[in-house]
Structures are given as structure tokens and as C-alpha cells.
Amino acid sequence: MKIAVYGKGGIGKSTTSCNISIALARRGENVLQIGCDPKHDSTFTLTGFLIPTIIDTLQSKDYHYEDIWSEDVIHAGYGGVDCVEAGGPPAGAGCGGYVVGETVKLLKELNAFYEYNIILFDVLGDVVCGGFAAPLNYADYCLIITDNGFDSLFAANRITASIREKARTHPLRLVGLVGNRTSQRDLIKKYVEACPMPVIEVLPLIEDIRISRIKGKTLFEMVGSEPSLNYICEYYLDIADQILSQPEGIVPKEIPDRELFNLLSDLYLNPIDKGKDQNNKKNLLGFTMV
């Protein structure tokens, strides 16, 4: 099973991806997480450091695939999850989609691409071109990470459009949305009413999720010294269980941009609860989300 995790930049995809990867490993799966971001920090909380990237390794070997070994590019992470960072081209040059393609090509050359029960692609930011959408070419499922903010749901809708387009050529399906660290659900609810799709889980708004990233540890590792965090891990295990049930998934149909803008902005301008304070109003547009 191959899963592509998408969402607006800064929404917490990498933190969520790492915890889902460990949850899948805790369920007995052999998991590889591939970071698809030039920052090459997707797997930081799994390994504790920035591992060498595929593209840097290829360049150092003058693109001689036969000179590269699995241990050069695949690194062991916490909880038995193996980690790869694709890396990216220099800023302002090249295409991230090419780098993803080279990563998959090398892993196939090393006979590693098919050795895992699950491969999880953690993909950077919004989908604005074919390069950003490249991991969908290899995925069975897509999972979208969002919060209750205007911008993140706008990005989710663009990702939805990309899933629909890619599903024309191969059996790609959307598993659903995961709400990350949000105390509000009204915009998410409004969006999925207009663009029907499953909401897999909504993670609680707690500081420990953000701190785990800063510490370079997953929630599962932090539980060792802070048992009170165990309940948060149950959220990720629930997501893993839903993925492992091999859901049928859906081919979604996005909402036109203007219609989506009107839908979400109307809820902000005309909140259901007139008594909400200004901070909650800001929260609707995502201004206070971390």
C-alpha cells in the first residue's frame, strides 16, 4: 500500500506523517516514509537528524546507480520505520517531480521499493503544478491534512482536484481528511458538506504536538517519559487502523474556487454563534493556527 500525504505548507504534515508511520509499524507493518520536500526534514522526528537526501547521494556518485547501496539512502528511524529523503533541486531551478521520480527509480534499482508493506510519501505544500502532484502517480491512497482555517481548506480543495485528475489514469483514491490540532470544526464541516469526503480524525489542539517537532521526537517516543501523552497516540493508531482496513476511498470532485471562497468566507462573516470573541473569529480564517 502506498499513501501520499498532502496539505497546506506548515499545517503539520510531517509531524502527522511520522506519527502515522509509527502507528502503522505498531500494527505490525513494514513501513518506509519518503520525505518529498527540499527542506529534507520530513523524517527528522523519526531519526533525530537531517538524513542525506537521494538527490545529493546521486550527485555525489555522478548518477552511477550501481555505486549506491541501500544503506546510503535508507536510514532506520524510531519505532522500526525506515526513512528516505528525496531532497530537491536548487532553489529556482529544476522540478520537485523529477526528484521524486529519481527517488522511486533508485529505490526500484535497489530492490527496496517493493520490500515494504506500506510506503508513505510526505509531500510539500499545495498542488500548483505536475511536479507537486508527482507522488500521486505512485500512490494507492491520498490523505489530506488540514485545520479549520480558510487557507488550508482552500489548499485541500486544490489537492482534491489533483486527486480527481490523477484517478483518471490509475486507481488512486482519497481516504479522507485529517484535522490537525484544531479546536474548531465549523469550516471543515461546511467544506465536507459541500464537497463530500470522509473526515478520518480530528487531532486535539494541544501544545505537545508542536513541541514534539521541536524536540525531534514523535509522540510515541515522548510517551516513554510522559505517559500522560498516551491518549494522543490513540488518535494516530485509529488513523492507522482505518488505513489498514483498506477502505474503498472516493474519487472526489472539487468545488470551483469562487464558490469555495464564498462558502467559507460567508461562514466567517456570519458566524453561527454571535457571541464568539474576536480570537475565535480569527481562528476561523486560520490566523491563530500554528
Residue by residue, DSSP assigns 196-215 as ---EEEE----HHHHHHHHH
- Which of these is catalytic: 39, 215, 253, 276? 39
Residue 39 is among the residues annotated as catalytic for this protein? yes
Strands 141-146 and 82-85: unpaired
217 is in an annotated binding site: no
C-alpha cell at 160: 482534491
- Which of these is catalytic: 37, 82, 126, 147? 126
- Residue 14 backbone phi and psi in degrees, to 5: -65, -45
Residue 13 is among the residues annotated as catalytic for this protein? yes
Cα–Cα distance measured from residue 92 to residue 25, given in angstroms and rounded to the nearest whole number:
37
- Which of these is catalytic: 13, 82, 151, 217? 13
DSSP 8-state class, residue 15: H
Strands 82-85 and 75-76: antiparallel
176 is in an annotated binding site: no
39 is in an annotated binding site: yes
212 is in an annotated binding site: no
131 is in an annotated binding site: no
Q: Where are the alpha helices (DSSP H) in the chain?
A: 13-26, 44-47, 54-60, 70-73, 96-109, 130-133, 150-166, 186-194, 207-215, 219-222, 230-244, 257-269, 278-284
129 is in an annotated binding site: yes
Residue 8 is among the residues annotated as catalytic for this protein? yes
DSSP 8-state class, residue 276: -
Residue 86: closest CA among 55, 62, 64: 55
118 is in an annotated binding site: no
11 is in an annotated binding site: yes
262 is in an annotated binding site: no
- Which of these is catalytic: 8, 122, 166, 217? 8
User: How far, CA to CA in Å, does 23 sit from each of 219, 223, 236?
Assistant: 10, 13, 6
Q: Which parts are annotated binding residues for Mg(2+)?
A: 14
Cite the annotated binding site for ATP by residue number.
Answer: 10-15, 39, 180-181
The residues annotated as belonging to the active site are: 8, 13, 39, 126
Task: Give the residue ranges of the annotated binding site for [4Fe-4S] cluster.
Answer: 95, 129
Binding site as annotated, residues: 10-15, 39, 95, 129, 180-181
